[in-house]
Amino acid sequence: MTQPVAIVTGASRGIGAHLADALQDNGYAVERGSRSTAPVTDPAAVRAWVENIVARHGRVDLLVNNAGVIDTEVSLAESDPDQWWATIETNVRGPYLMTHTVLPHLTPGMGRIVNINSGAAYKNYDIATAYNVSKGALARITSGLGLGPDRTALVFDLAPGVVRTDMTEAMDAHRDRTEWTAPEEVTALLLAIARGELDAWSGRMVRAGTDTVESLRARADVGLRELDRTLGLITWGDDDPLGT
pLDDT in tens, 29-68: 999 999 999 999 999 999 999 999 999 999 999 999 999 9
Which DSSP state fits 130? Answer: H
Q: What is the per-residue pLDDT for 176?
A: 72
Residues marked as catalytic? 131
pLDDT tens figures, 202-212: 999 999 999 99
Return the sign of the alpha-carbon dihedral for residues 137, 130, 22, 28.
positive
pLDDT above 60 (res 1): no
| Sheet hosting strand 62-65, strand order edge to edge | 29-32, 5-8, 62-65, 112-116, 154-159, 205-207
Q: How confident is the model at residue 167 (pLDDT cuts 50, 70, 90)?
A: confident
Which residues have a Cβ under 8 Å from the Cβ of 120 and sit 6 or more positions away? 128, 131, 132, 135
If you classify domain 5-243 with CATH, what class do you get?
alpha beta
Q: What percent of the chain has pLDDT over 70?
A: 94
Q: Kindly state the average pLDDT of the residues 119-133.
A: 93
Q: Where are the extended beta strands (E) located within the chain?
A: 5-8, 29-32, 62-65, 112-116, 154-159, 205-207
pLDDT above 70 (res 174): no
Q: What is the per-residue pLDDT for 150?
A: 86
Q: In the chain, what are the domain boundaries?
A: 5-243
pLDDT above 80 (res 232): yes
pLDDT above 90 (res 162): no
Q: What is the per-residue pLDDT for 244?
A: 60
